[in-house]
Structure 1
Amino acid sequence: MTDIKTLIIVAVSRNGVIGRDGDMPWRLSTDLKRFKALSMGKPLLMGRKTFESVGSKPLPGRPHVIVSRSATVDMPGVEMAATVDEALARAKALARETGADAICIAGGGEIYRQTIALADELHVTHVETDLDGDTHFPAIDPEIFELVEETAVPSGDKDNYPTRYAIYRRRAGR
């Protein structure tokens, strides 16, 4: 079997903001639908605060691995890991057990910082505005990640900002 890919999925403003006060600082229905389609059936890895921000319950159809040094969550479909390395190993094992070809890293900021160097692909929704926030995404190094696909999405009734959905793939040998 081929190796399990590591995908990062994130929405980020032009100035690098991904969160404010434990939530996302935008309403982007199109992006949430894309997130669901991309992550369905694949293990989701996220930090405890991100898990709490999505309602402290697992999103349907995806096993969850939550990183927390102290908190515990005891519910079906959720496993805990004390470190990012432990979470990555468990998420990849879950992917192999379920036949998934990838794991999806869904935040937050500290989890992204610790995993971007290990990611095979970045699925980035660039939110075309500058926003205030307290959580940021690390800069994408063009020497490491190559833009391979990009789609513009206008703002509308269900998306309060225009976005660009971009896929960045790790360059060979990087």
Structure 2
Amino acid sequence: MIISMIVAIDLNNGIGKGDDQLAYISADLKRFKALTIGHTILMGRKTFEALPKGALPNRRNVVITRQGDYKAPNIDVVSSVDEALNLCKNDEKVFVIGGGEIYNIFLPDTDKLYLTVIDHRFNEATVFFPEINMGEWTVENEEGPFTDEKTQLAYKYQNLKRK
């Protein structure tokens, strides 16, 4: 199983404000869909609840929560990291999609990072991606900079592989 993380971060590693993303960049959302479709996505309960239409289609949705009786349509619910890894052990690729606490827990076991780096510092950010020690990673691919037409935010894609 290859564990990957996919995340949009600002220049301070900010990823969210409260229970929402910092920015919605149309091309980034399309990239997210293209990369994760047909694979397992793993997320915390708050991230799941922030999805506008519930479980994402054409993907196995695994939600980690401490709420023992948590249920929602089209998801697998687990209560621990070990339970999540065990459930996904036969999956080729697993994408960790957030939030902050889940990223922190899974980063040491992650093989690949799919980053969208937004060239901006959001002062309102309250949720952050863990610090990336670039000594542990190799840049596999980098694309951009691009500018989002709607928000005018500049961003680039960076794919990292653990050394």
**Is this contact kept in 2: 1:44–1:91, CA < 8 A?**
no
Question: Helix, strand or coil: the match of 2:70?
Answer: coil
Residue matched to 2:70:
72
CA distance in 2, matches of 1:56, 1:22: 15
Residue matched to 2:43:
46
Q: Are 1:27 and 2:24 an aligned pair?
A: yes
Q: Are 1:16 and 2:13 an aligned pair?
A: yes
Question: Helix, strand or coil: the match of 2:85?
Answer: helix
Letter in 2 for 1:64: N
Letter in 1 for 2:132: I
Q: CA deviation at 1:92?
A: 3.1
Deviations 1:13-37, CA, capped at 9 Å, x for gaps: 0011100021011120110000000
Deviations 1:26-68, CA, capped at 9 Å, x for gaps: 1201100000000000010000000011136111100111000
108, 121, 129: which one aligns with 1:117: 108
Letter in 2 for 1:112: Y
More strand by share: 2
Unaligned runs of 5+ in 1: 96-100
Question: Helix, strand or coil: the match of 2:31?
Answer: helix
Q: Which moved more, 1:56-65 or 1:105-114?
A: 56-65
Question: Helix, strand or coil: the match of 1:18?
Answer: strand
Q: Which moved more, 1:112-121 or 1:84-93?
A: 84-93
What is the TM-score when the length of structure 2 is the normalising length?
A: 0.93
Give aligned pairs, total.
161
CA distance in 1, matches of 2:43, 2:28: 18
What is the TM-score when the length of structure 1 is the normalising length?
A: 0.87
Question: Helix, strand or coil: the match of 1:35?
Answer: helix
Question: Helix, strand or coil: the match of 2:20?
Answer: coil
Letter in 2 for 1:107: G
- Percent identity between the two aligned chains: 32
Q: Which moved more, 1:56-65 or 1:106-115?
A: 56-65
Residue matched to 2:54:
57
**Is this contact kept in 1: 2:62–2:77, CA < 8 A?**
yes
**Is this contact kept in 1: 2:43–2:63, CA < 8 A?**
yes
Residue matched to 1:87:
84
Residue matched to 2:118:
127
Residue matched to 2:159:
167
Q: CA deviation at 1:156?
A: 3.1
Q: CA RMSD in A?
A: 1.4
Unaligned runs of 5+ in 2: none
Point out 4+ residue stretches in structure 1 off by more than 4 angstroms: none
